[in-house]
Amino acid sequence: MHIAGSTGEPFSNLINNVRSIRIMVCKSAIHPRFLTKDICRPLQQYKVVEMKLLAQQRELQAKIPDIEKCLDIVATLQAKKGTGEELLADFEVSEGIYSRARIEESDSVCLWLGANVMLEYTSDEASALLQKNLDNATASLEVLIADLEFLRDQVTITQVTIARVYNWDVHQRRSKQVTATVVKDS
């Protein structure tokens, strides 16, 4: 009945017509209000998953420009290699405190990997590693965007289904009132 998307979340079932609602209510043998609550459960799960995916998307969107900036710096160092020119760079020592450094020609680059780990690479290795990281981050971002679109579709389908069940219930209650009034008046 449910097919999972790439996030592992099941597809929502869209109720297309009144007959489907009637069949669903009869099969479940519960009041439509309770059926609406059952339909709301996946909606809450979708919202939780959406928040997690949005957080991951923000992290990747912040990470990609940093990787691109590092790639540009390594490319600049490679371009300056062999020219004999010194490279002047301003860098942040602490919040709001900057210093100027003179970078002499070198074939190695130190990359901060995180978790208090820094490794020295040749310029070519550093460029290859950064390009690989950029490609992975970009691919991950594309998958996240597709997952978010899928999740938003599921949220919309679930909300439409809830509205249809609710409207069907309101229509049924009004029909019963009209029938009861007609029987009472006759």
For the chain, the structural domain boundaries read 18-175
pLDDT of residue 3: 35
pLDDT of residue 13: 59
Kindly state the tokens that stand for 56. 């991951």
Read off φ and ψ for residue 4, nearest 5 degrees: -80, 140
pLDDT of residue 12: 59
Q: Hey, how many other C-beta atoms are within 10 angstroms of the C-beta on 85?
A: 10
pLDDT of residue 9: 55
β-bridge partners, 102:
88
CATH of 18-175, one of 3.40.50.960, 3.40.50.2300, 1.10.10.10, 1.10.287.370: 1.10.287.370
pLDDT of residue 8: 60
pTM higher than 0.85: no
Rounded distance between C-alpha atoms, residue 31 and residue 87, angstroms: 75
pLDDT of residue 178: 81
pLDDT of residue 126: 96
Look at the block and give the residue holding tokens 């389908």. 157
pLDDT of residue 60: 96
DSSP E strand boundaries for 20-103:
87-94, 97-103
Kindly state the tokens that stand for 32. 């439509």
Rounded distance between C-alpha atoms, residue 186 and residue 176, angstroms: 15
pLDDT of residue 172: 82
Kindly state the tokens that stand for 64. 């990609």
Kindly state the tokens that stand for 150. 């899928």
Is the Cβ–Cβ distance between 40 and 49 less than 8 Å? no
Q: Which parts of the chain register pLDDT below 70?
A: 1-30, 185-186
Is the Cβ–Cβ distance between 123 and 109 less than 8 Å? yes
4: region left, alpha or beta (phi > 0 left; psi from -120 to 50 alpha): beta
